[in-house]
């Protein structure tokens, strides 16, 4: 299915375009611009998060996770947001023991969000 509107109920989509459009007061052009910025910047921030986890840098984990959490908030990407929030909390607490476990799931969910933003047909929505 190529349309966010056509996805059947019960299918867990990583982005809620209706909410995202409300976030930008229905401005399709602005949403397209924000999606472009996200798609360009998010991989860099995820790389920073990956590096911080590998280095055991709790402050870096907190900062990078906070950054990506904010990036997906407007798209109402609940799973990605929750994982970033969890990672941010681990960094804030200095608890690096679980970051390596959370990171792969977080990266997969953010990849799912990015893939969905690239292919979903949301422009016809109001």
List pLDDT tens digits, range 25-41: 999 999 999 999 999 99
Nearest-CA neighbor of 115 among 6, 12, 13?
13
Say how far apart CA 57 and CA 106 lie, in whole Å: 17
pLDDT score, position 5: 38
Question: Is residue 67's pLDDT more than 50?
Answer: yes
pLDDT of residue 65: 98
Residues 6+ apart with CB under 8 A from 9: none
Give 3 or 42, the one with higher predicted confidence.
42
Closest by CA to 80, choosing from 53, 45, 33, 120, is: 45
Quick one: tokens of 88?
């941010």
Q: Identify any residues that bridge with 1 across adjacent strands, giving them in sequence order.
A: none
pLDDT at 3: 38
Q: What is the mean pLDDT of the chain?
A: 88
Looking at residue 121, what DSSP letter applies?
B
d(CA 33, CA 29): 6
Q: Which pLDDT score, from 0 to 100, does residue 126 have?
A: 56
Q: Which residue has the higher pLDDT, 58 or 1?
A: 58
Q: What is the length of the chain?
A: 126
With tokens 């990171």, the residue in question is 103
Give yes or no for residue 68 having a pLDDT over 60. yes
Q: Residues 85-94: what's their mean pLDDT?
A: 97
β strands within the chain, DSSP E: none
The fold of 14-119 is 1.20.120
Residues 1 and 8: their CA atoms lie apart, in Å, by: 9
């Amino acid at each position: 299915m190529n349309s966010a509107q056509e996805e059947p109920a019960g299918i867990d989509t990583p982005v809620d375009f209706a909410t995202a459009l409300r976030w930008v007061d229905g401005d399709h052009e602005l949403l397209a611009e924000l999606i472009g910025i996200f798609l360009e910047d998010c991989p860099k921030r995820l790389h920073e998060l990956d590096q911080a986890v590998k280095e055991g840098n709790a402050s870096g984990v907190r900062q990078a996770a906070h950054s990506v959490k904010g990036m997906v908030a407007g798209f109402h990407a609940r799973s990605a947001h929750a994982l970033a929030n969890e990672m941010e909390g681990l960094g804030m607490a200095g608890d690096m023991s679980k970051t390596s476990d959370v990171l792969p799931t977080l990266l997969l969910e953010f990849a799912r969000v990015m893939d969905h933003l690239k292919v979903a047909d949301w422009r016809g929505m109001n």
